[in-house]
Amino acid sequence: MSRSVIQEKVAKLLSRQNGKPVLRPIKPLALKNEVASRRLKKGEATCVTEMSLLLACWKQNDFNNSVCSKEVSVFYRCVEKAQNMAKGKQGTQGRLLPKEANTLLKRFPNLSSEI
């Protein structure tokens, strides 16, 4: 039902009957079967404070790992947490990722021409 309404509007925008046409398309007005892959937001470096503490401990104790074992374990825990966060955050927030959308569109494309 709404499809014919849209087609009428497009026809009106393209027609030369009421003066110059509003749209002068070079490519056909149809959606592509893929989504543009968005650039991810640039994140910050994770666990920099723990790393700096570890490096300071090393400098004081001549890179002895047994003495700095507490800093080492804290650093490992922070790294694991950061990894889990990075993995979990990617696919959430209600939207499909561009990669997933492209896979689906490839399997169920909009047919633009008759086969």
Query: In the complex, which residues of this chain contact other proteins (CB under 8 A)?
Result: 42-48, 51-52, 54-55, 58-59, 63, 65, 72, 75, 79, 82-83, 86, 94-96, 100, 103-104, 107
Task: Please identify, using beta-carbon distances, which residue of 33 and 46 lies nearer to other proteins.
Answer: 46
Residue 36 CB, nearest approach to other proteins (Å): 17
Rounded Cα–Cα distance for residues 33 and 112 (Å)? 10
Least Cβ distance, residue 97 to other proteins (angstroms): 9
Identify which of residues 24 and 38 has a Cβ nearer to other proteins in the complex: 38
The distance of closest approach from Cβ of residue 26 to other proteins in the complex, given in angstroms and rounded to an integer, is 32
- Give residue 10's Cα distance to chain centre: 32
Instruction: State the sign of the Cα–Cα–Cα–Cα dihedral 87, 88, 89, 94.
Output: positive
- Output 10 or 104, the one with its CB closest to other proteins: 104
Q: Is the CB of 12 or the CB of 77 nearer to other proteins?
A: 77
Radius of gyration of the chain (CA): 28
The answer to whether 65 and 76 are in contact (CB under 8 A) is no
Measured between alpha carbons, how far is residue 54 from residues 20, 27, 32, 98 in Å? Answer: 70, 58, 51, 39
